[in-house]
Amino acid sequence: MKITTWNVNSVRLRLPLIEKFIAKMEPDVLCLQETKVVDDLFPAEAFANLGYTHQKFAGMKSYNGVAILSKLPFSTSGKMDWVGKEDCRHVEVTLDGGPEIHNFYIPAGGDVPDPAENDKFAHKLGFIDEMTTWSAGLKGGKKKRIILGDFNIAPSEADVWSHKQLLKVVSHTPIEVDRLAALAKAGDWIDAVRHLSSEDEKLFSWWSYRARDWTAADRGRRLDHIWVSPALKGSLEFVDILREARGWETPSDHVPVTLKLR
DNA sequence: ATGGTCGGTGTCCGA
């Protein structure tokens, strides 16, 4: 089974690129973030025509929005609100006879890495803390689970182009990195992408739009993640971060990250 | 140290 996470930054604008990606990678399950569309206007038919007939999405006007589009059937699905906000940052499905999949869009957190000064940063930390409590409640189970999405945090030095220059930049500050580590620990989550790569290999899934040439200095960060429960550790086969998608015409600033499981 | 660019149904805000 191949499962992909991709922050597409508008599902309607990006539809041709998503089709291009599907033709190339043929994922069984496609998890999108920042769809930026209400459910009534979600391009459900376009995905159904591509074979993704099993769908769960939750969107709002202008901001956020997540979707799970699957070729494999699921009979259980849902969505949860986090930190008391109905802002469409999570959907979940349980594939028939397969894993439970949770698709997250963690808040970006604004510019100032201080929760006392910046409500958006406080929201980000609160969101992760709530995920941590939730994960701790799942612990001990032998269930096959996947959590993935745009976590908006690049945890390790190998996940950023310059550890030193990003220490005070939201996405790589020690406070966020520590919270994310606490989340991983509470749920026994395994970072599948890092597990299948070497610890010090530079891996990026996002490059800012604010650069004349995103390839020039390769100033990327790994913000998009796929984590699995211990029950799936032995099933991890390979991972693909489709860097070339950042160079496609009218790209998202994120590229798709795909995991293959046996 | 600064400012740079996207997308939305927008004339700013969030990323």
Is the CB of residue A103 less than 8 Å from the CB of residue A92? yes
Residue A91 neighbours by CB under 8 Å, 6+ apart: A56, A57, A58, A66, A67, A68, A77, A78, A79, A102, A103
pLDDT tens, residue order, chain A (262 aa):
999 999 999 999 999 999 999 999 999 999 999 999 999 999 999 999 999 999 999 999 999 999 999 999 999 999 999 999 999 999 999 999 999 999 999 999 999 999 999 999 999 999 999 999 999 999 667 999 999 999 999 999 999 999 999 999 999 999 999 999 999 999 999 999 999 999 999 999 999 999 989 999 999 999 999 999 999 999 999 999 999 999 999 999 999 999 999 9
Determine the distance between A234 (CA) and B8 (C1') in angstroms: 42
The whole-number Å distance from A256's CA to B6's C1' is: 18
d(CA A208, CA A1): 30
- Residue identified by tokens 């309607």 is A12
Q: CB-based burial of residue A49 (10 Å sphere; 0-12 exposed, 13-18 middle, 19+ buried)? A: exposed
| Separation CA A208–CA A212 (nearest Å) | 10
- Strand B footprint nucleotides (protein C-beta < 7 Å): 3-10, 14-15
Nearest nucleotide to A87 by CA–C1' distance?
A: B14
How many whole angstroms separate alpha carbon A124 and alpha carbon A133?
Answer: 15
- What single-letter amino acid sits at A44? A
| Dihedral of the alpha carbons of A130, A134, A140, A144, in degrees to the nearest 10 | -120
Which residue, counting CA atoms, is nearest to the C1' of nucleotide B9? Answer: A62
The residue whose CA lies nearest the C1' of nucleotide B6 is: A209
Q: Which residue is nearest to nucleotide B3 (CA to C1')?
A: A210
Domains of chain A, CATH where assigned: 2-261 (3.60.10.10)
